[in-house]
Amino acid sequence: MQYRKDTKSGNSLSVLGLGCMRLPSDIKKAEALICAACEKGVNYFDTAYLYGKNEEVLGAALEKFALRDKVFIATKLPLALCRGPADFDRFFDKELDRLRTDRIDYYLMHMITDLGLWEKLCSWGIEEWIQKKKSEGKIRGIGFSFHGTRDEFLKVLDAYPWDFCQIQYNYYDENYQAGVTGLKRAAAKGIPVIVMEPLLGGKLSSGLPREGAALFGKLHDDWSPSKWGLLWLWNQEEVTVVLSGMNEMAQLSENTGTAESAFAGCLGGAEQEVFGRVRETFAASYKIRCTACSYCMPCPANVNIPGCFAAYNTSYAIGYITGLKAYMMNAGVISDKMSGPSLCAACGRCERHCPQNIPVIESLKAVRRRLEPFWFRLGISLVRTVLGKGRA
Ligand code: SF4
Ligand code: SF4
């Protein structure tokens, strides 16, 4: 494992962090993954109040295996749930409780989208609150995770003496949201940058179109698309930690193996040239910008929003029939509990929570048009009638 210096605190952080949002739901498997990550030198664990039972699972595992003092915990204030200043303590205390700890090493304002949101928090006294928590030793470093435009990122960055920040960044998103400009500005200010979505929720690994994977394979046939994606990030000295939502041992082994050679400047001109061409093939297939973060879930009408979008993108990246098969499964087309786009009641709840600003309602209509052609609907209605499962 390679380590990079957090220039603000002096901490030595593993270049690979465990993004706990995608931890396996099976507790034993999640514990095994957390322990294995520690054994392989990972010392940065990122979770959030909004990630279901994630904080509890991480906290319990760190306590059970006496790992708390060997790692840094990052978690987040759920701004989407805060209605006033009293909520800061309410959520924070609950997080300490869930994580079974007396301090948070890296505490983030979760999903800042623009300066206006930060200013609203300031009007509620967040700066004084942060100062108090820091002086009590309950918060060690304060930062923010960001989803918004580059210009807003730069404004937020300048609005407070942050200890670190977290941005969505990968070779496809080089100029999306904070992008490379935001990365370099933060680094120039001495603010460590934690990277999320390094492989776009797996789209840049398993979801890469065949032509893209072939372009990579032509130059280094022993490098997987994940390795390419991660090295692109670690090649940049401004990147401090890359969070990967690993949920299987094989992924952990592969990524920690890649992290051994995670040196700034490890890629040359030939590799950079390939990224340009892979980007083009990927752009042609990545029709809906969904990263499968599930912030929009659960949908009150039971639509499997990320599942429908994943199938739609797969139908372009891998092939129509593969996409259709994924759609049948993800949308529960012949199951007792359907979860397809036809159930959408257009309430708009999902759109308010989507960090990628996806027009979910319209996009679901596009999914339906592509993956539910007339002949398909007819066939499914017949199958459902025969199985006695009601109308599609
Ligand atoms: S707009 Fe449709 S998909 Fe989105 S939460 Fe409402 S019902 Fe679900
Ligand atoms: S639609 Fe948006 S919020 Fe929902 S999973 Fe995709 S990226 Fe996340």
Tell me what pLDDT residue 387 has.
67
What pLDDT is recorded for position 333? 74
Strand partners, 180: none
User: Between 285 and 370, where is the model more confident?
Assistant: 370
CA–CA distance, 338 with 210 (Å, rounded to integer): 31
The span from the CA of 131 to the CA of 141, in Å, is 11
CA–CA gap between residue 271 and residue 232 (Å, rounded): 9
pLDDT digits (tens, 9 = 90+) for 94-138: 999 999 999 999 999 999 999 999 999 999 999 999 999 999 999
Atom of ligand 2 nearest to the CA of 353: 3
The three-state DSSP-derived secondary structure of the chain is CCEEECCCCCCEEECEEEEHHHCCCCHHHHHHHHHHHHHCCCCEEECCCCCCCHHHHHHHHHHHCCCHHHCEEEEEECHHHCCCCHHHHHHHHHHHHHHCCCCEEEEEEEEECCHHHHHHHHHCCHHHHHHHHHHCCCEEEEEEEECCCHHHHHHHHHCCCCCEEEEECCCCCCCCCCHHHHHHHHHHCCCCEEEECCCHHHCCCCCCCHHHHHHHHHHCCCCCHHHHHHHHHHCCCCEEEEEECCCCHHHHHHHHHHHCCCCCCCCCHHHHHHHHHHHHHHHHHCCCCCCCCCCCCCCCCCCCHHHHHHHHHHHHHCCHHHHHHHHHHHCCCCCCCCCCHHHCCCCCHHHHHCCCCCCHHHHHHHHHHHHCCHHHHHHHHHHHHHHCCCCC
Q: In the prediction, which pLDDT does 285 show?
A: 85
> CB–CB of 76/92 below 8 Å?
no
Instruction: From the CA of 291, give the closest atom in ligand 2.
Output: 7
What does the domain layout of the chain look like in residue ranges? 3-285, 305-387
Ligand nearest to the CA of 80: 2
The chain-wide mean pLDDT, for the chain, equals 92
Distance CA 111, CA 167 (A): 10
* Gap from CA of 305 to ligand 2 centroid (Å): 7
Query: Of 290, 299, 304, 353, which is best to mutate to test ligand 2, by the most ligand atoms within 8 angstroms of its C-beta?
Result: 290
Name 10's Cβ contacts closer than 8 Å, sequence gap at least 6: none
Cα–ligand 2 centroid distance for 122 (angstroms): 28
Which protein residues touch ligand 2 with a CB less than 6 Å away?
Answer: 290-296, 305-306, 309, 353-354, 356, 358, 360
Pocket of ligand 1 (CB under 6 A): 299-301, 303, 305, 344-350, 360-361
Query: What is the tens place of the pLDDT at every residue in 30-39?
Result: 999 999 999 9
Residue of 362, 174, 173, 210 lying closest to 285 (CA atoms): 210
Residue 230 has pLDDT above 90, yes or no: yes
For residue 291, the ligand closest to its alpha carbon is 2
Ligand nearest to the CA of 307: 2
Mean of the pLDDT values across residues 80-96?
96
pLDDT at 249 over 90: yes
Say if residue 391's pLDDT is above 80: no
Best mutation site among 291, 297, 312 for ligand 2 pocket (most ligand atoms within 8 Å of CB): 291
CA of 290 to the centre of ligand 2 (A): 5
pLDDT tens readout for residues 191-227: 999 999 999 988 898 888 889 999 999 999 999 999 9
- Average pLDDT of 172-190? 95
Q: 3-285 in CATH: which number?
A: 3.20.20.100
pLDDT above 70 as % of the chain: 97
Identify which has the larger pLDDT, 52 or 40: 40
Residue of 21, 176, 360, 362 to mutate, ligand 2, most atoms within 8 A of C-beta: 360
- Looking at residues 305-326, what average pLDDT do you find? 90
**Residue 331 pLDDT:** 86
Q: Looking at residue 103, what is its pLDDT?
A: 97
Cα of 95 vs centre of ligand 2, distance in Å, is 24
Rounded to an integer, the average pLDDT of 328-349 is 86
Kindly state the tokens that stand for 95: 């997080």
Residue-wise pLDDT for 143-153, tens only, equals 999 999 999 99
Residue 30: name the closest of 9, 55, 5 by CA: 55
pLDDT tier for residue 392 given thresholds of 50, 70 and 90: low
CA of 78 to the centre of ligand 1 (A): 21
